[in-house]
Amino acid sequence: MDRRTFVAMTGGALLGASPHLRGQSPATTPRIGFLSAFARADIDVFLGLLRQELERLGWTDGRNIVVLEPRTTGGDNARLPLAAAELVAQGPDVILVQTVPATRALMQATKSIPIVMMGVGNPVELGIVADFGKPGGNITGTSYLANEFSSKLLQFLQEAVPRLRSVAVFVNPTNEHAAQYAKRMTAEAATLGMRAQIVNVSGQSDLETAFAAIHSANTQSILLPAEPLIMSKRDAIASFAQTRGLPLVVQGVGRVLPASGLTAYAPARDEYARLAARYVDRILKGAKPGELSIEQPMRFSLVINLKTAKSLGLTIPQSLLERADEVIQ
């Protein structure tokens, strides 16, 4: 199935789900697990939105469902298999998961517990599911075309700073998607007349080497993907960028944009929560995850920081400002 058309074919499939009747609580209270490689501070807002969406569907945490304490690894992919095994041992009825490495860990830990992905990039291309329309197995959820999304962020960067001729793209080589992502971003930068410097960071000790490489190459800007380890280092990277006077753009919602960052772009967080809650609702009512089509977010958020632009001596084009969902004055 063409990845650009599956949403049109399946859009609304989840939206028809009827709310859970409050007078018909199950004999045993369903339990919802959560596994993520992102830091706890980065998922708390999402968890709050998720609880709100679940309640709209009749599922109240502590009354007729229990949302288990989330398991996170703070960007450390090596800890995911153990975290996944510990979560599965709790016997949840559904598990929500973020990132490709975390999904892989769960795939090894269970073949039976329903797994709901939340914004996991390129799941068909990576072989996580068989098809967008009918994923098969015990996995469904939301996805996005990660390569195309990052390319759009790169275009926004060039539009904001037309003189740019180079960008440092941070990647985590322990993430299986890193090589493919680096190849795509290198090619996309070239089409825009820019040179992409791929900067590998797999731990704290790599940061100083990364900064030295950017300084040595006189790279003019920095792009951070929505990768848990990279996100956990974003403040240190932003401090370096600010010291060097480099525009910094982040793949993510506005709240993850450092104060000195220029632009953030990502699917709307509340839409991921809304869709995740609907998957949970359907599965708890008996639907098989492998038969629930995978959805993509339809709403995106572009944030532009004019305070940073001013400090960098930049004038953001009006055409770009008009497309922004949030402008930081």
Q: Which residue has the tokens 């090589």?
A: 179
Euclidean distance between CA atoms 218 and 56, whole angstroms: 51
pLDDT at 22: 36
Q: What tens digit of pLDDT does each residue of 162-186 get?
A: 999 999 999 999 888 888 889 989 9
Euclidean distance between CA atoms 108 and 101, whole angstroms: 11
pLDDT at 15: 38
pLDDT at 1: 46
Q: Which residue has the tokens 């596994």?
A: 35
CB 260 within 8 A of CB 236: no
Q: Which residue has the tokens 């793209």?
A: 169
CB 246 within 8 A of CB 220: yes
Q: What tens digit of pLDDT does each residue of 289-322 get?
A: 999 999 988 888 899 999 999 999 999 999 999 9
CB 69 within 8 A of CB 226: no
pLDDT at 149: 72
Q: Which amino acid is at 275?
A: L
CB 118 within 8 A of CB 82: no
Euclidean distance between CA atoms 14 and 111, whole angstroms: 23
Would you state the structure tokens that stand for residue 212, as one six-digit string?
């030295």
pLDDT at 146: 60
CB 118 within 8 A of CB 57: no
CA distances to 110, 119, 227 from 48, rounded to whole Å, are 26, 17, 21
Q: Round to the nearest angstrom and report the end-to-end CA distance of the chain.
A: 43
Would you state the structure tokens that stand for residue 235, as one six-digit string?
């403040």
**Intervals of the chain under pLDDT 70:** 1-27, 145-148
The alpha carbon of 216 is separated from its chain's Cα centroid by a whole number of angstroms, namely 31
pLDDT at 145: 65
In our burial notation (b when 16+ CB lie closer than 10 A, e otherwise), range 230-249 reads: bbbbbeebbebbbebebbbb
pLDDT at 80: 96
Who contacts 258 (Cβ-Cβ below 8 Å, separation ≥6)? 234, 235, 237, 238, 248, 250
pLDDT at 147: 60
